[in-house]
Amino acid sequence: MKKNLLPVIIAFVAIVVIVVIVVLKPKSERPIALIMKTLTNEFFQTMEKGGREAAKELGVELTVMSASRETAIEEQADLVASAVGQKVAAILIAPADSKALVRPLLKANKANIPIINLDNPLDPDEVKAQGLEYVAYIGTDNVKGAYMSTKELIRAMGGEGKIAMLEGIRAADNAQKRRQGYLNAIAETNGKVEELTSDTANWETEEAYNKFAAMLQNYPQIEGLFCANDSMALGAIRAIEAAGKTGEILVAAFDNLKAVQEEILNGTIHCTIDQHADWMAAEGVKMAVKLMKGEEILDKEKLVDLELITKEVLLEKQKGKKK
Ligand code: ALL
């Protein structure tokens, strides 16, 4: 009888030891979690790179987590639960949905794991309603970025004409703010620029291709298009090509992906905005390390320096690299 119990006792003791090691591991040795939307978007690959480089430099471990696609909100909520289960030292999160992720993040508050909000801001009303505490927001002035991109589009159109927009996920705060920035730029033209239509393509290329093909059918007069991110612009220019309209419709975008830089140099996309996703993650890691050292965080908001990217800017940058 006693002999039979021995393996059970050994297994029990082993489990207790493992649990004690994980739970009592000093905070500084625990990884920082970087939870993003999806690595299918190069924007988040850039973010991951920035986070990894900063973690390496500061000698901390970074656990990178991402969902399978832009709209996989539930999956992202599960990633938060998993990071909390792993008792990470801090959570850096670029939420796919500004409201839906607030509730899952309460688990981090309960476990005393600090949260740093990257890229897409959490919804302030929902944060208040749920009583969520987070340390800071590190990201973009999205109204300003969309305004800059649309203003350049309008300038290139000669200050007048008919335009349309492809929006991001409508439940995302940055998608709403980019719509606002675009509308602000239109409003400044005092009616010289008219919006014909707007629809969401949920940040995705294929959806943008289908939605913009339909828009072109319904509104063949479209002369300019603002896409709230580059992935959608890449879909839209395929729809433009399929309609035989390449060169007739100017496209402005947001993100500065490599594929879009090529299109800008080819002339199929007019401009984009660099919002430096690598910087966001690097700043997030630095802030998390400060927290791990017990330092106080005074900046509740850190905004990136936005950069308008046009063909001229890219050619200048190329020249700079050659020197
Ligand atoms: C946002 C980013 C982007 C990106 C999009 C797709 O939060 O700021 O511009 O393309 O997510 O998920």
State yes or no: pLDDT of 96 exceeds 60.
yes
**Ligand 1: centre distance to CA 254 (Å):** 9
**Ligand 1: centre distance to CA 77 (Å):** 17
Distance from C-alpha of 101 to C-alpha of 95, rounded to nearest angstrom: 6
State yes or no: pLDDT of 13 exceeds 80.
no
**Ligand 1 pocket, mutate which of 227, 255, 279 (most atoms under 8 A from CB):** 255
Look at ligand 1, atom 1, and give the residue with the nearest C-alpha. Answer: 120
Q: What is the mean pLDDT of the chain?
A: 94
**Ligand 1: centre distance to CA 285 (Å):** 19
Return the number of other C-beta atoms located less than 10 Å from residue 174's C-beta.
Answer: 27
For residues 53-74, b (16+ Cβ closer than 10 Å) or e, as one string? ebbeebebebbbbbbeebbbbe
Evaluate whether the domain defined by 2-140+276-303 bears CATH number 3.90.1150.10.
Answer: no
CB of 174 sitting under 6 A from ligand 1: yes
CB of 274 sitting under 6 A from ligand 1: no
Residue type, 220: P
- Region of 202 (left: φ > 0; alpha: ψ -120 to 50; beta: rest) is left
Distance from C-alpha of 201 to C-alpha of 226, rounded to nearest angstrom: 12
Q: In the predicted model, what is the mean pLDDT of residues 107-126? A: 97
Domain parsing of the chain, residue ranges: 2-140+276-303, 142-274
For 283, half-sphere exposure in the C-beta direction (CA atoms, 13 angstrom radius) is 23
| DSSP code of residue 295 | P
2-140+276-303 and 142-274 in the same fold? yes
The pLDDT tens digits of the residues spanning 250-292 come to 999 999 999 999 999 999 999 999 999 999 999 999 999 999 9
Element (H, E) at 139: strand 136-139
Query: 142-274: which CATH topology?
Result: Rossmann fold (3.40.50)
Confidence class of residue 19 from pLDDT cuts 50, 70 and 90? Answer: low
In the prediction, which pLDDT does 175 show? 97
List the one residue out of 280, 164, 143 whose CA is nearest residue 225. 164
**Ligand 1: centre distance to CA 8 (Å):** 50
**Ligand 1: centre distance to CA 208 (Å):** 14
Q: For residue 182, give every residue at least 6 positions away whose Cβ sits within 8 Å of its Cβ, in sequence order, or none.
A: 146, 147, 149, 150, 165, 226, 228
pTM of the model: 0.88
Q: Angle, to 10 degrees, between the axis of helix 42-58 and the axis of helix 277-292?
A: 40
- Region of 304 (left: φ > 0; alpha: ψ -120 to 50; beta: rest) is beta
CB of 119 sitting under 6 A from ligand 1: yes
**Ligand 1: centre distance to CA 295 (Å):** 30
In the prediction, which pLDDT does 71 show? 87
The pLDDT tens digits of the residues spanning 206-230 come to 999 999 999 999 999 999 999 999 9
Confidence class of residue 12 from pLDDT cuts 50, 70 and 90? Answer: confident
Look at ligand 1, atom 6, and give the residue with the nearest C-alpha. Answer: 203
Distance from C-alpha of 140 to C-alpha of 301, rounded to nearest angstrom: 10
State yes or no: pLDDT of 107 exceeds 90.
yes
Quick one: which atom of ligand 1 is closest to the CA of 38? 12
Distance from C-alpha of 48 to C-alpha of 280, rounded to nearest angstrom: 10
State yes or no: pLDDT of 160 exceeds 50.
yes
**Ligand 1: centre distance to CA 256 (Å):** 11
CB of 123 sitting under 6 A from ligand 1: no
The pLDDT tens digits of the residues spanning 35-94 come to 999 999 999 999 999 999 999 999 999 999 999 998 899 999 999 999 999 999 999 999
Distance from C-alpha of 86 to C-alpha of 130, rounded to nearest angstrom: 23
